[in-house]
Amino acid sequence: MQSKPTQQLALIDCNNFYVSCERLFRPDLAGKPVVVLSNNDGCVVSRSNEAKEIGIKMGQPWFQAKALAEEHNILALSSNYALYADLSNRVMNLLAEFSPRHEVYSIDECFVDLTGMAELRTISYAMREKIMRWTGIPVCVGIGPTKTLAKLANFIAKKHPRSKGVFNYNALTDTQKIKLLSRISIGEVWGVGRKLTPRLAEYGVHNVHELREAHTPTLRAEFGVVVEKIQRELREVSCVGMEEVTPPRKQIIASRSFGNPVRDVASLKAAVALFVENACAKLRAQQSHAAMLQVFLHTNRFRSELPQYHPVMAVPLITPTDNSLVINRWASLLIDQLWRPEYAYKKAGVMLSEITPNTQRQNDLFVESDPAEESTLMAVLDRVNQRFGRGVIRISSQDAGEEWGMRQERKSPAYTTSWVELPSAVA
């Protein structure tokens, strides 16, 4: 009986994605320390390699870094989600050409199943080259038998220059695997993080090899099934499928292909409203809120005789929220911007990202809202739908005419999505 071939999962990760997007239209920023700030210019969410070397930390509040920034002439930019979402969509569409099985994990990461394909290194460099040539975004490729090991391989591809941006864990011998994993801290393992690292250290687990070889019943008893799954993945047993995303999710996607092409904007808004409802329900179930909404539309890419249109647009929310009504208001506005009557739409969807626990919410002083009242309303909606079936209480598309402003003092133009914001040459 022929044995099943080793799974070849590739994780393609855009390098310093937000900064790379900004540098694409600002070549003068090459080689200079650059950071991108979160909503309302709060915290650092992306850093160039130069900024990392200076000591700027991910998630660091900008006011704490200003002294260091002034000393080293670090340029800080506001988040430009319209630009990032558009470039992300272009990258993901290019990756989809290399395999029918792919999964967009986040705005800058995508898993691609290369199982059964020959010349994996050649394919990996081809992906890097095409993405760089067509979008200008640098990426690294990590290949492994499981998602966890593919992500670890991507880490190696980024950190070690000799890899030239591509690393295949599956190509190593058993001895080489042990040597490699013994050199990597468990904090670099997907799903471990800063909280679990000191706890695992108490049990003598400091590097990835030690985690892989640890006593499984003890791990399960002390850390639960999540850490046991991580260990199994490190032992090359796949526990996280291509369609599965383990909580807490970095982003939540709700989408669906339509049974019949949608040709009117009202029907499209009704469908997207349902997607918003489903995504927000998942958001509330994991006790989180989101700070960014992305809406995307697709025509039928398999009907080449029909005109094609695959737009995507994102908007940062003034404050992180899990409120279906608020998010649907913005979704409706984005549909108005994306809609073109000459196309027949096969698929639509929404993506919630910049997700954080709802205990970390900071309200906006200039927006009248009652978080407790909103939370109660959403809780009632969830209870009714859980008891009587999803969709018993539904949201409808709403007028998004209210103007909400944000602090984005350092925001770059929407180079790829707005003609108005494009720089113009003056004679």
Which pLDDT score, from 0 to 100, does residue 274 have?
A: 86
Q: How far apart are CA 350 and CA 314, in angstroms?
A: 9
Classified by CATH at the fold level, domain 1-170+399-427 comes out as Alpha-Beta Plaits (3.30.70)
Question: Which class is domain 252-388?
Answer: alpha beta
Rg, the chain, Cα only: 23
Q: Residues 343-372: pLDDT tens digits?
A: 999 889 999 998 888 776 555 544 555 555
Q: Residues 185-216: pLDDT tens digits?
A: 999 998 887 788 999 999 899 999 999 999 99
Which pLDDT score, from 0 to 100, does residue 229 have?
A: 93
The pLDDT of residue 254 is above 60: yes
Mean pLDDT of 14-37: 94
Report the percentage of the chain scoring pLDDT > 90: 47
CB-count burial class (<10 Å; 0-12, 13-18, 19+) for 163? middle
The pLDDT of residue 108 is above 90: yes
Mean pLDDT of 309-319: 90
Q: How far apart are CA 35 and CA 404, in angstroms?
A: 25
Q: Give the C-alpha distances (Å, rounded to integers) separating 313 from 54, 72, 362, 425.
A: 34, 34, 25, 27
Domain range list for the chain:
1-170+399-427, 252-388
Which pLDDT score, from 0 to 100, does residue 377 have?
A: 60
Give exposure, 189-208, as e/b (b: 16+ Cβ within 10 Å): bbebeeebbeebeeeebebb
